[in-house]
Structure 1
């Protein structure tokens, strides 16, 4: 029996087009009923297959005298079958699945009948989150088995992508429905899926830490998850989780991600010309996408030497709703006490989600997550008593207390050709430093809405708006002690409360408002050319100051053939003043005006044999009025020493928090990749770049200008559920601080650095694929190499300051059910 006809086509919440094709059996239903009189047992499987449990219940207790007509069984109808094109995969593929749909319409089992990897495993995992109407027999819901065909089509012109041929006719088998998975192209991004992240050595299964292996990303220091992206400082890189802005993605220092891996479907890195739905950042965008619920009871757990984490999901209301909860708690204080009894460090995070399907098209969802880090140190304190006696005692001081919380309520709606989301967000950010000498906190209220509509085969439009209201309270001591000054760069002896306006903190308490509207249009101009122009307008209000920014952006992709394509991007972006890095609750005012950048890039991609892909990109960016304290410190020292403007101490003071610089970046990026989701996968990423800054008469390379960054890694399935992977990371040194303006333009550099990471894991399956446990050993910087972070040179010699070695071992037991 063949397939005929086409069902409705619509876009999923993550921007994928799904085309359902259901079998039409009405033409031969009467003939089947006649045949069923003679062969009743066979007739029950002609359109689908009931599960053994249901079949046993429906079996007659005695043989009838005359065969009775068999009741017609109505097959399940698809309601929710979202599935994305698997990461790292290339080309077209078909996967046939045998699905068991229970009386609630949930898929409780998905077995691969045929299909290649990595498509087959991806389809089987995705199917466990699908929803159907239950099969009906005589009006009663029954469990059933159906066959489903998933056809994966890589991004291609819409007119050609929807063509498909039905599978071969089948007899005496469950009917085959079909789903075509099409990727909507966003050419100016890198994507990492969960499988690749979990197999990347040195990432520790952390979705956001894995981006350091991508081209264009330059780490501030090895093992620390703070990055320059195409020359943009960490403070100009925006972090989002499912559209929600977050201040940081990792725990303090070399800590893990603040999100459980099960909550993250994938991570997208937009190094430039990012979509208009993201705004108010002058560098790159790192966006994590929330994983879709599975609508079944399942969980994961992981226990390491320094922390433990777990996740569980439970459906409710007959499968119309689902609740998911995850968290991590550390016991690093116990570990540190063995090495340094005076230091206590603790961190934790949580994530929770509740989703309820109001109808087949509407759902409401509540998402909550947060993170906290806490560091204390015991010190000896001397005090003079009233009778002039000097006493000393041990006191615990708070070195760091930082965290954030988010609560997001959203309404989602989907229809045949589009999606919409409206959300309300509440949040709180806080940072405490130097035993209360710095105490900043911010309460946030935000809202956003976005509509995406496919008008026809060649035109898709989207539009939306967002607003964020921040109530800030920033309390900074008048004279932080010198021992704590380094915790707050730029706030030294002269940073008294009366001078806070010069430092960019105009008021201790103020209210900031950021509001924006955006729209774009994806136009399939020809079968080979896709153009996406867009524009975003933002209003910034900070205390008594305000600013307006209009950011036009455009991307274009031209496909020469199925294997060769080129992409271009151009964008103007603006951002309010920022700190050197993300510090929750700390935000300069608009006194210095907006930061801005012009971003442009072009890339050429070519699909190689054996599942390999390759790409080469060139980029150029220009920055105006950027807040890059790391670069300004080096340039200011050269200028002051040249002009003889050193203070009596002979040490150049750090620049003010809101002091600005201009600059730019240009470079070439190379990527060669075979998905780590495959049995044997690997990658090579290389960046050759140059970034520079200028401030007054001083100019030269930026403080974190690493000309060469190379990552080479791989992962291989050793058999018997053993897997091994390794990665080598190499990058050149940063510019040293020099004493003269002329030397600052081409300064000496610190030595290069390299490290070796590896990961070895073993799993034991109790029931494939969901019930298993395993062990993993992973080490970052196995070679115990030290890194030179700063150099200072005069006319005779250079002095380098090294860090480390930062080596992070991880021995973990983990499992899933």
Structure 2
């Protein structure tokens, strides 16, 4: 028996195992330069002219020198001024590799600007993780003739004496910035006195023009974005700021007598303005791609600072059963959603109970989440996609951190590898220690738990810049979880079930990743990984053991064919060699009473070894026929050896800006076919049916995105999933094995709504609401029923605000429909409940009662879930390190949310099982 979809097997048993356990660049310009008369001495911009971006934010290239262009003699003699905009390609070392004129001026200005650009040096662009990267920027040279020295006014207009001095001691100065606190050099600033204001006398900046008192004054900002109007009269002024590629700004300022006014203005980019484009950041190929930024993923309340747990707050993601740690997307089963780490599939995304993810936040660059209609590069799943990107290690010295909270402890060390230029490393590890205090406490209290859940994970990587445009990374990461319970007495209804209950699951990946910008038009990216998975589950005398070795690989080639046309093609390979050992009761034999306890049935033992593979290939076109439109047609071809089936999956998505620029209005939509092979145990003999076909789903979606302000955006998306050829299980005619067949059909229909405030200097937050209904029919002649993970209403509202002085406060509120159950006893509060119903049959040989199900799966919904979580962070910064602490409180008002139902020994009564009470967590972190 081969388990090529080992991740799917582990996800398939996740609900059972969990029950036992309960027991995401700024649009900016480079600092433009300007040419002066030869007599003027150009001043290079200071090395720190561009302030450092906030931690976790990408930074554009920063000029480290100033190369003044030569003023063309003929143009100078004619008194002509001009501006030349260049496109510069800057490599990872900060060297200008290529310069192209984008907006020329002729008369020798273009040639002079190109010659000067070759002498420029830059601090290279850096990604959010701090690693240098190649970039393309627009760089502007302004050729301006210095004005003649103004002469002192004479006659009636001249001011003399103390009265004149008294009116000219004020100053209005400031700095012009783009988003991300990037200074804008060369911005035009005009100061116009309002009626009744005496006027201005002088201005300083990159270039200034003086006029008679009472008239407008104009200047351009210097290399640091600074301007200054000196010696102005008290009164009201209109300040007008213009900059190519940015929206103009008009404001009114009041200047009082003796006042020195300093103001910071921010310009917003518009259309196709001057911008810095960091290579490697590409627009989404899917209808909906939600990317969480660094500040968002580790500050969301209720997640204990865990990035991957923040996915549960996004539209379309359902709340999993208590401590299950499952990812349920748009009504689909957990095994329908694929999870990747740097392009390599992994079987688990969360540790036991969902307390934390298998990759700590500190190692993440971003999380891309696709709830549906994902592109052709992803397959073998019909739910959603979670693609986690590990960040590159820092290369500016040795850095590290250590964190301790009530759940686990972690460490991280990273930096350059000594004596190896361009090589950097990172090593991290984490271990829970709940077992060290919870286990002994429960044992002393007489509980049956002898060992609390224990988990640990680890990550190690070495990364090198093979060339300025190629990067190679070797990574090793893994996860391990273990749980042990002791059953002192048989459970009600299962007299033969005694002994230990144990669960252990682990996986490791040795991964090699390569990214190469071959040319300006060609890109190659590949990843290959060797993997190992172990799953051991024991239940008294029964057990299930899995040992699996895997080889996975992805290789993608991208070619920019022409302007607005990009072609992507790739291969996706999965190979598994698995061994399974099983000892478990049979389902039931013909003639046996239906109420026989599970543990007293005859036992079967199996040991199967097999190898299989599932290769795939895909191709996509990214078409941009206009700046407003983007179309992505694609197709994927998969083959599954276990079912010997080929599947062809065409897909299409598109976006169109009804309003381009700000405020942007975008419509989007997509349709695609998605195939998911059967679970290995469903298709491989002796347990499975080799004649099965792949599960099929067609995704439809249409949506709208609207900018309300620069920070606030809203989106709405309707989706429909048509499910066909779904695999279901039934008892085989021999009464021993389980039969599988492709007879089920279903559908999921719903809508997602998101109001999001994008992170600014102090605040981020969003409100997400999902309305959906997921149903299926197991066979054509059977009634339609709700899917097990259907949740009608999902509302999440959260936000986090930086109070200043290192303090940050956040809150999250959730309101969710209750989970579905298959009851054995009716709810007495239901008017249709029959208290006289027979709920169980007495089994004389074992002396226990076995339940008679009241109804089928998912026929009763538990009460509404609601919960408030709060988080407070405090950070202290020192010269070479910083210390932070946080308090994360879940279920602040201690709501007794219902997570299940329990029954008495003879199934005559029942009661609700409450979830976790108020749960505070305190953590401390130090980093350098």
**Contact preservation (8 Å) 1:672, 1:683:** yes
Which of 646, 663, 688 in structure 2 is aligned with 1:548?
A: 646
| 2:923 paired with 1:812 | yes
| 2:298 paired with 1:190 | no
**Contact preservation (8 Å) 1:399, 1:434:** yes
Give the whole-Å Cα distance in 2 for the aligned partners of 1:549 and 1:19: 46
Give the whole-Å Cα distance in 1 for the aligned partners of 2:439 and 2:857: 46
Give the whole-Å Cα distance in 2 for the aligned partners of 1:515 and 1:554: 22
Which of 649, 656, 663 in structure 1 is aligned with 2:746?
A: 663
Deviations 1:595-627 (A, max 9, x none): 111111111011112611101110000112335
**Contact preservation (8 Å) 2:890, 2:919:** yes
Deviations 1:712-768 (A, max 9, x none): 11111122111111111111124453799998699553211111111111010113x
For residue 359 of structure 1, what is the aligned residue in structure 2?
A: 467
**Contact preservation (8 Å) 2:183, 2:225:** no
**Contact preservation (8 Å) 1:20, 1:179:** no
| 2:580 paired with 1:474 | yes
For residue 369 of structure 1, what is the aligned residue in structure 2?
A: 477
Cα 1:419–1:746 change in 2 (3 A) is: closer
**Contact preservation (8 Å) 1:580, 1:628:** no
Query: How is 1:314-463 mapped onto 2 (pairs within 5 angstroms)?
Result: 314-316=415-417, 317=419, 319-341=421-443, 342-378=450-486, 397=500, 399-414=502-517, 415-434=519-538, 437-463=543-569
Deviation at 1:666, TM superposition (A): 0.2
Give the whole-Å Cα distance in 2 for the aligned partners of 1:809 and 1:95: 52
Give the whole-Å Cα distance in 2 for the aligned partners of 1:208 and 1:802: 27
Bigger radius of gyration: 2
Deviations 1:260-313 (A, max 9, x none): 212211111111111211111111111112223332222222111231012121
Task: Report SS of the residue matched to 2:811.
Answer: strand
Give the whole-Å Cα distance in 1 for the aligned partners of 2:795 and 2:423: 46
For residue 785 of structure 2, what is the aligned residue in structure 1?
A: 700
**Contact preservation (8 Å) 2:576, 2:611:** yes
**Contact preservation (8 Å) 1:790, 1:801:** yes
Give the whole-Å Cα distance in 1 for the aligned partners of 2:697 and 2:471: 38
Deviation at 1:423, TM superposition (A): 2.6
**Contact preservation (8 Å) 1:19, 1:179:** no
| 2:382 paired with 1:282 | yes
Deviations 1:419-443 (A, max 9, x none): 2123321000111111671111210
For residue 687 of structure 1, what is the aligned residue in structure 2?
A: 770
Cα 1:195–1:203 change in 2 (3 A) is: same
Query: How is 1:12-411 mapped onto 2 (pairs within 5 angstroms)?
Result: 25=67, 27-28=69-70, 76=121, 81-82=126-127, 115=177, 119-120=180-181, 163-165=272-274, 184-186=283-285, 187-222=287-322, 224-296=324-396, 297-316=398-417, 317=419, 319-341=421-443, 342-378=450-486, 397=500, 399-411=502-514
**Contact preservation (8 Å) 2:697, 2:724:** yes
Cα 1:161–1:287 change in 2 (3 A) is: farther
Give the whole-Å Cα distance in 2 for the aligned partners of 1:461 and 1:678: 38
Deviation at 1:378, TM superposition (A): 4.3
| 2:874 paired with 1:750 | no
Give the whole-Å Cα distance in 1 for the aligned partners of 2:118 and 2:622: 43
Give the whole-Å Cα distance in 1 for the aligned partners of 2:687 and 2:571: 23
Deviations 1:460-504 (A, max 9, x none): 11111021110111111143999xxxxxxx997668547x7xxxx
Task: Report SS of the residue matched to 1:195.
Answer: helix
Deviation at 1:2, TM superposition (A): 4.6
Deviations 1:509-534 (A, max 9, x none): 11120100111111012231110011
* TM-score (norm: length of structure 1): 0.71
| 2:897 paired with 1:780 | no
Range with greater deviation from structure 2 (310-319 or 20-29): 20-29
Task: Report SS of the residue matched to 1:277.
Answer: coil
Give the whole-Å Cα distance in 1 for the aligned partners of 2:546 and 2:244: 52
Give the whole-Å Cα distance in 1 for the aligned partners of 2:510 and 2:600: 39
For residue 637 of structure 2, what is the aligned residue in structure 1?
A: 537
For residue 671 of structure 2, what is the aligned residue in structure 1?
A: 570
Give the whole-Å Cα distance in 2 for the aligned partners of 1:811 and 1:658: 50
**Contact preservation (8 Å) 2:317, 2:330:** yes
Cα 1:751–1:73 change in 2 (3 A) is: closer
Give the whole-Å Cα distance in 1 for the aligned partners of 2:571 and 2:351: 31
| 2:820 paired with 1:727 | no
Cα 1:626–1:115 change in 2 (3 A) is: farther
Task: Report SS of the residue matched to 1:698.
Answer: coil
Cα 1:120–1:350 change in 2 (3 A) is: farther
Give the whole-Å Cα distance in 2 for the aligned partners of 1:812 and 1:74: 50
Give the whole-Å Cα distance in 2 for the aligned partners of 1:654 and 1:753: 39
Which of 614, 617, 625 in structure 1 is aligned with 2:717?
A: 617
Give the whole-Å Cα distance in 2 for the aligned partners of 1:122 and 1:783: 47
Unaligned 5+ runs, structure 1: 6-15, 32-71, 86-92, 97-112, 124-145, 155-159, 167-176, 383-394, 483-489, 501-506, 637-644, 648-652
Cα 1:589–1:312 change in 2 (3 A) is: farther
Give the whole-Å Cα distance in 1 for the aligned partners of 2:557 and 2:703: 29
**Contact preservation (8 Å) 2:176, 2:183:** no
Deviation at 1:230, TM superposition (A): 1.1
Range with greater deviation from structure 2 (780-789 or 303-312): 780-789
Give the whole-Å Cα distance in 2 for the aligned partners of 1:800 and 1:605: 45
**Contact preservation (8 Å) 1:21, 1:178:** no
Aligned residues: 651
Give the whole-Å Cα distance in 2 for the aligned partners of 1:238 and 1:152: 41
Task: Report SS of the residue matched to 2:335.
Answer: helix
Deviation at 1:188, TM superposition (A): 1.6
Unaligned 5+ runs, structure 2: 1-30, 36-57, 74-116, 131-136, 141-174, 185-222, 227-242, 248-268, 444-449, 491-497, 589-596, 825-851
Task: Report SS of the residue matched to 2:121.
Answer: coil
**Contact preservation (8 Å) 2:61, 2:123:** no
Deviations 1:26-54 (A, max 9, x none): 744999xxxxxxxxxxxxxxxxxxxxxxx
Give the whole-Å Cα distance in 2 for the aligned partners of 1:204 and 1:658: 43
* TM-score (norm: length of structure 2): 0.63
Task: Report SS of the residue matched to 2:295.
Answer: helix
Deviation at 1:702, TM superposition (A): 1.3
Task: Report SS of the residue matched to 2:861.
Answer: coil
Deviations 1:39-92 (A, max 9, x none): xxxxxxxxxxxxxxxxxxxxxxxxxxxxxxxxx99653566644699xxxxxxx
Which of 799, 810, 815 in structure 2 is aligned with 1:714?
A: 799
Give the whole-Å Cα distance in 2 for the aligned partners of 1:449 and 1:306: 39
For residue 522 of structure 1, what is the aligned residue in structure 2?
A: 622
Cα 1:758–1:266 change in 2 (3 A) is: same
Give the whole-Å Cα distance in 2 for the aligned partners of 1:672 and 1:541: 45
For residue 143 of structure 1, what is the aligned residue in structure 2?
A: none
Task: Report SS of the residue matched to 2:345.
Answer: strand
**Contact preservation (8 Å) 2:59, 2:126:** no
**Contact preservation (8 Å) 2:870, 2:889:** yes
Give the whole-Å Cα distance in 1 for the aligned partners of 2:311 and 2:794: 13
